A and B are shown apart, each in its own frame.
Chain A
Amino acid sequence: MQGRRPGARGRFLRAMGEYLKPQEAIPGSLYRTIMLAGGLGALVVWGVLTYGGFVSSLFLPSPTDIVRTGIELYRDGSLIVHAKASTFVIFSGWAMAAALAVPLGILMGSFKVVEALIEPVVDFVRYLPVSALIPLLILYIGIGTAEKIAVIFIGTFFQLILLVADVSAHVSKDLLDAAYTLGASRAHVITRVLVPATLPGVMDNLRITMGWAWTYLVVAELVAADRGLGYLILDSMRGLFTDRIFVGLMVIGLLGFATDQFFKWLHRILLPWSPKV
């Protein structure tokens, strides 16, 4: 044993020297192994804490508890109802934000007149916490689904408009000038060059703001909800059903992850020419 130790230590140090260079790529197989180890490690820590009885299930239910509760909620149909309600709220709010923010953002990034007109307002509003606007939203549009959709809308619209404006402001001027010297009119330059040039960036930012929309869900379902994953979490808190809270969290995470992957797939299919694909 004494003879082997320096060798093992030497190998370890060499591996450290090899793989811990800043920004240096590592072999794909090693990357996947470490990734798996990270996931399993978290699971093991979780298992030890819960099955080992170190933490009360009131604070942290065990993996099997959560799976069992998840299956239960799925079987009685409530999980699907909650997931559907939340997905509807998120997609509606986000889609409305996107439909308005993308064209406005492109105009704002391309035309100084539009920028001067709306940037101060947008910059002001986007720093207002969405939760602080809920009382006003209730006053204006009540406590129904519309109010929840409005929360998602406000949470994404003002961010998205600035992100899209930035994308369109960074379209190469030479690209537009090249189109002019090929005989394009201003209208042509806008519709056939400026807009398509923004698509990869717009697509990326739609994906990112969709992710943010999921994080606003609980805020949206804070008031007068009777369904939704956010509601499930808040309602479970009253009876201290920690396992249900975790089921809600898991489903939000999984749905968010799935939409993210869907958008990446969509980007590849719709914009095969994009340098980001």
Chain B
Amino acid sequence: MTKSAPNTPEIQLDPVELRKARIARNERIGRWLLPIIVIVLTIVGWDLFCVINEVPHYVIPRPGRVLEALIEDWSLLISSLGATLVITFSALTLAIVGGVGLAILFAQSKWVEMSFFPYAIMLQVTPIIVIAPLIFIYVDSKFAGLLICAWIVAFFPILSNTTLGLKSADHNLVDMMKLYGASRWQTLRFLRLPSALPYFLGGLKIAGGLSLIGAIVAEFVAGSGGAGSGLAFRILEASYRLNIPRMFAAILLISFTGILIFMAMSFLSWLFLHKWHESAIKREI
């Protein structure tokens, strides 16, 4: 239970510790500064490339033009993003329910796991792009079809991680539960689920991004337009019309959404783990 003293200048430090402190400070600044510098350089380079080579805007638009498209088509793009996000988060929710539910089922019975785990792997390794057309033939509702596709992509990391986590409960603690006469439900609630939490959250980080990818891929396959169509359709539509700046704007929006989802999942993970789990602990030395 030692609390580290704040780094006040009065403290005498040896050169090695001073160097360590300097490196740590530089790293803290660099973590933010470096990506920003690289992004700015990339944008400037991109702009220069377009100007110097006189690249026409229908091949590669200049960054300013992409920004213009983003502002001009904002209401169109944002409503499409909304549609994509509805699919993404519905699929992620179903993936959590389905993945965790199946994992708990697998943990209860080895026989069930042996029987069904191969199917889960099969669903995962078969590229969604080849199953999606079939799904849209068999399922009438476009929304349901999109949801199924995104779900298939997102649920596996949650299932496999949570299954592993439920099995990794400390064996001595399992024995102790038995000794105190804990029921199956109590063992699950007090021991197996908390043990699986870090694994589940690791799976969730992957599944968050995958559900967005699944939703976009499914929209590409579905391809139909009209009100309430997602960002992937906007990209297809813009490419038919050679509206390249809008394509860039839509892609940019998708990337940012993906980053935001990842950050949200990382924050969630930190929220649940920072008090106790090794992965979230900063070390002194």
A, B assembled together: no
